[in-house]
Every structure is written in structure tokens, then in C-alpha cells.
Structure 1
Amino acid sequence: MRSIPFLAALPALALAACGNPANEGEAPPASEEAMPVEPDGGIGDGAAPLDTAGGTGIPAALHGRWGLVAADCTSTRGDAKGLIEVDDRSVTFYESRATLDEVAERDGDSIRATFDFTGEGMEWTRDMALASAGGGAELVRTEYGEGAMPEPLRYTQCPSEGDA
């Protein structure tokens, strides 16, 4: 009948093998570090994210006020028809606004995406690219698809309010 004490000890041994429930929720020991995750969701060496500028909107390098001609940046009469203002989610034109929709390509100083436009009582969608040029002093806007501008437009960065 020596097997009865052994059988009685089995539940205690099984619990001991499962670990200490008092440690639940605590961080694993340093020797058990989690494997890094790649930007595409796969596992690997933990490479830097594809978007080194941070965020998912229009890259910060493209933010600001941009004019087709110098007078677009300095007009006080509200007639700066070539002025655009770019922020994280939109591009504001003289009589319309383009809101970022679906991003196709993006890096620290360029983006190509679908933009939803509204203006003068109308709505439309445009595939558009914005890219930094001239060492960051210029912005190139290119449209694609039906109804797109035939050539890219080049804007010059407007001086900041304190520089004007």
C-alpha cells in the first residue's frame, strides 16, 4: 500500500510543475525577453519602423505654407490663389481643401495618397503626391489619373511669420 501516499502526492506535484500563480502578471525575467516585431508584423531583428518621421499622416517635412510665386506668401488682400497650407491630415488651397484618405506610399519627405477634395460646393477624389525638393525649400505636387494637372507644380516655402 505504499502507492497510496504516492498517488496522494501527485496533485501537489502537478501544481508545483505549473509554476507559481503568485507571479502572474509580472514581467518575465531578463533572460526571457520578447522577440522584436518587424513593421510588417513579422518577427525578426526589430528593424526601425518604415516611417522614420513618425505618424501616418502627411510627413512633417511637408508641413507649412507654400506659394507658387512669392506674392502668394505675402498677400494681405486674400488673393493668394497659389498659396497652399499643408498640415498632418490636409492641404488647404485658395478655394478648396484636400483631406488625406488612403496612403499608397510614404517616407520622411514625401507621400502619395488619395485625397478627398471639397470646394465651391463640389466634392471629388484625387490621387496626389507631395514631395520635398531643393533641400526642403520647395514642395512638388503631382496629380495622377483622369482630370489631373498635366505637369507637376513647384511651390516655394513661405517665410515663417517671424521671418517676414
Structure 2
Amino acid sequence: MIGWLLATAGTAALGSIFPLVNIELYLLGIVSTVDGISWWAVGLAAALGQVAGKTLFYFAGKGGFALGERLRKRIEAKRRGRWAAWFEKFHRRTEERPWWGLGVLCLTAVPGIPPYSLMCFLSGAAGIPLLGFLAASLVGRGLHFLIVAGAPELLHWLPAALGS
């Protein structure tokens, strides 16, 4: 079981950087075909792996990588643009009310919309503390992956619960 959990976390981390790797399909396949593995453990492993990978986006937003600096310069060059105005508003609100920024991050982590990758980058750029970023991301992504991994179990349980 440990091997499956490590493989799940690794696949989730890879999928967080390369979106062609679909961790949701992977989770459904694992939970449906592998005997003796709990759906909640697989869901939590996927959340840990994905948050570990998305932390790179957070550090890029903080300017820890050349990519973050280039994107920050582009935003500053287009200050009059719609996205730059939205970013400035997000940054200002996050500075005034840090819990608001963490709440937005957590809420976007559950469905992944607006793109969670963008929110990770913006969280770093807006100055959200790393521990707050990790906590909000783990809560949101954990909920997301527990729902995905628990779906096959729910589908087995639902007909019996409805009396069919």
C-alpha cells in the first residue's frame, strides 16, 4: 500500500507541473482496480503531492525563479490591463485581510477553478505566508481529491441506500 501512496503522490506532483498528467483519472483507476487500498489515503496522498508541486508556482510568484521575475515584469509593464488591475486588487485585499486571501485560495483549490495554478502564483506574488499557503492548499485540494477518490465508493453505496 505504501508503494501505491508514494506513486500517487508522485503522479500528483508531476500532474501539478505538467497538466497532461490527469491525477483525477489516475485516482479513479487506482481506487476502482487496486484491492486493499483506502480511497481516503489515496486522496490525501494526491493532495500532498499536488500541493508539493504547486509550491513551485508559489515560489515563482514570490520571485524565487527567473520565471516569476519575468511574469512580474510583464504585469508591471501592463499596469493598465484588466489582469493587472485584478492582481492589484487581490494584492491589496490580501495585505489588508490575510484571511481573505487564504480563503480565496482554499475555495479555488476545491474545484480548481479559476485555475488553481494561477492562484498559487498570485498567492506568492501577493505575499501570502508560506505556511498559510500550504494549509489553505492542503485543505482545498484534500477536499477535492477526497471527493474524487471517494466517488466509486459512493456509487457502490448509493443504490443500497436508495433501496434499489
TM-score when scaled to structure 2?
Answer: 0.23
Higher strand fraction (1 or 2):
1
Structure with the largest fraction of helix: 2
Structure-1-length-normalised TM-score: 0.23
